[in-house]
Amino acid sequence: MTARPAQSPNGAAEVPEVVVSRLPQYVRALTRLSQQGTTVVSSQQLGELIQMTPAQIRKDLSYFGRFGKQGRGYSVKYLLGELRRILGLDREWRVGLVGVGRLGRAILSYPGFSPEGFRIVAAFDADPRQVGQMVGGIMVQPMHRLREGVQELGIRIGIVAVPASQVQEVIDRLVQCDVRAIVNYAPVNAQVPAHVRVRNIDPVLALQSITFYLTTLENAEKRGAAR
């Protein structure tokens, strides 16, 4: 799926997808600084934490306004609060999971979503053997209750953890239920309307890309040893 720029909060400029994807890294770093009692941070210090240049950090933040003063750095509390507001992390988001296989069960049992404002409130599966089971405190419902569940529980985000062959059909059904934000764990790039956002999470792709660096390093070591 081709990445589409997001609109900045003030409507002045489109925000590149890569910038949006970096904002959670800023939030995580600032949260850690806040917990350590740090009140002010420079772009240099922030860059060292997340391995980015100060110039890139300043450029990223400039899409959303002015948050600091030159030579004084950023107020950790203020910048963290503003970025959380921009990302919509200042409220709770209700999430529905489709697919309760091994991956789906792991997702339902993961305790890290709730503290960050993401509450999985329902799970659905087409397999009758899964329906009715309790997983992570949630009862698995049949797929024919998807629309009803989305409407009744106010689900805004869908997580798809089904086999690749079922991904497009499941995402189509979520879109029909007016779910506009979807996280897809299958190795398939589903087609969606322009108003729907999909994040594809594929650990195999991550492994395949990181082996490039291992291969490059090994080749360099071999060349060095041959001299």
Q: What is the pLDDT of residues 73-94, one digit of tens each?
A: 899 999 999 999 999 999 999 9
> What pLDDT band is residue 18 in, cutting at 50, 70 and 90?
very high
The Cα–Cα gap between 78 and 35 comes to: 14
Per-residue model confidence (pLDDT) at position 12: 42
pTM metric for this prediction: 0.85
**Cα 161 from Cα 213, distance rounded (Å):** 29
Q: Is the pLDDT of residue 225 over 90?
A: no
- The pLDDT confidence band at residue 23, using thresholds 50, 70 and 90, is very high
Q: How far apart are CA 227 and CA 224, in angstroms?
A: 6
Q: Show the domains of the chain with their CATH numbers.
A: 6-87 (1.10.10.10), 93-202 (3.40.50.720)
DSSP state letter for 128: T
Q: State the pLDDT at residue 2.
A: 40
> What is the model's pLDDT at position 72?
81
Distance CA 95, CA 181 (A): 10
pLDDT band at 7 (very low <50, low <70, confident <90, very high): low
